[in-house]
Amino acid sequence: MKILAIDTAAEWCAACLWDAGSGRALGTEARDIGKGHAEALMGVIGVALDRAGASWRDVEAVAVSVGPGSFTGVRIGVATARGLALALKVPATGVGTLAALAFEAAPLARGRPVLAVLDARREEFYAALYGPDGEVHAAPAILDLKAVAALAGLTKPLIVGSGARQAAAAAGLDPDATALANRRTAGIDSFARLAARQGFGGERPRPLYLRGPDARPQEGFALPRSGA
């Protein structure tokens, strides 16, 4: 099966065509763009397909990062994945950003649990705890630093992601308890590999926001009705 994987949950806009049979990426494109995923994504996918020497007809499934991450980025990625799956008449699945990070770090954990922690700003963190085989020990949630530190101190995991160093320090753990500490998302091939492991028999991808959008109407603000 050839899986088109896309990720727009953080600053990166990335896509790859993954061959599940051979276990390798046939073509990849990843750009650190910050914002503007809606304008860039289809071009990024096109480059990945070109590098794979493939066309849309070769895509047999779609995998997408469902977050947590940027509210707008997650929404763009999920909507695109669902649209492509419908147009191409192929299945689609969602892969959590925290799960993909933990999956990528599992070989470094040497049998320990993996705590994936992303800085969610406002002194909060997206966090989830996974066992050595990827089983969910603590589901994705938005936590303050004290709660993340308690989880880390209790399980002594390998801590990964952009909030890893803060979590380790707050839990009184050594710096070698962290890995991938500058990462806000996993490598695009990790999303594809985890999607291949999960399978494509479940429901369509749905965003995993954990927190509402930052942009909200001003409280008490309303436009006057016509003729009022």
- Determine the pLDDT at residue 215: 46
161 within a domain of the structure (yes/no): yes
Q: Are residues 17 and 86 in the same domain?
A: yes
206 within a domain of the structure (yes/no): no
We report the CATH number of the domain holding residue 21 as 3.30.420.40
Q: Are residues 29 and 126 in the same domain?
A: no
Q: Along the chain (228 residues), what's the average pLDDT of each consecutive run of 10 residues?
A: 97 97 97 95 98 98 97 96 97 97 95 96 95 94 97 93 96 92 96 96 90 54 46
88 within a domain of the structure (yes/no): yes
- Determine the pLDDT at residue 213: 60
126 within a domain of the structure (yes/no): yes
Nearest to residue 189, comparing CAs of 37, 1, 7?
Answer: 7
Q: Are residues 122 and 78 in the same domain?
A: no
Q: Are residues 59 and 130 in the same domain?
A: no
Using one digit for the tens of pLDDT, what is the confidence trace for 147-190?
999 999 988 999 999 999 999 999 999 878 999 999 999 999 99
- Determine the pLDDT at residue 228: 43
Q: Are residues 124 and 67 in the same domain?
A: no
Q: Are residues 62 and 161 in the same domain?
A: no
Query: Which residue type does 63 have?
Result: A
Q: Are residues 67 and 147 in the same domain?
A: no
Q: Are residues 31 and 132 in the same domain?
A: no
224 within a domain of the structure (yes/no): no
- Determine the pLDDT at residue 217: 47
72 within a domain of the structure (yes/no): yes
We report the CATH number of the domain holding residue 165 as 3.30.420.200
Q: Are residues 40 and 117 in the same domain?
A: no
Q: Are residues 90 and 190 in the same domain?
A: yes
Cα gap 146→40, rounded to integer Å: 38
Long-range contacts of 102-105 (CB under 8 A, 24+ apart): 102/128, 102/130, 102/134, 102/160, 103/130, 103/134, 103/186, 103/190, 103/193, 103/194, 104/160, 104/180, 104/186, 104/187, 104/190, 105/158, 105/160, 105/179, 105/180
- Determine the pLDDT at residue 183: 94
215 within a domain of the structure (yes/no): no
Q: Are residues 69 and 17 in the same domain?
A: yes
Number of domains in the chain: 2
What distances in angstroms separate CA 2 from CA 59, 90, 163, 177, one per listed residue? Answer: 6, 11, 33, 36
212 within a domain of the structure (yes/no): no
Domain that holds residue 54: 2-96+185-198
User: How is residue 55 written in tokens?
Assistant: 């066309």
Q: Are residues 137 and 31 in the same domain?
A: no
- Determine the pLDDT at residue 201: 87
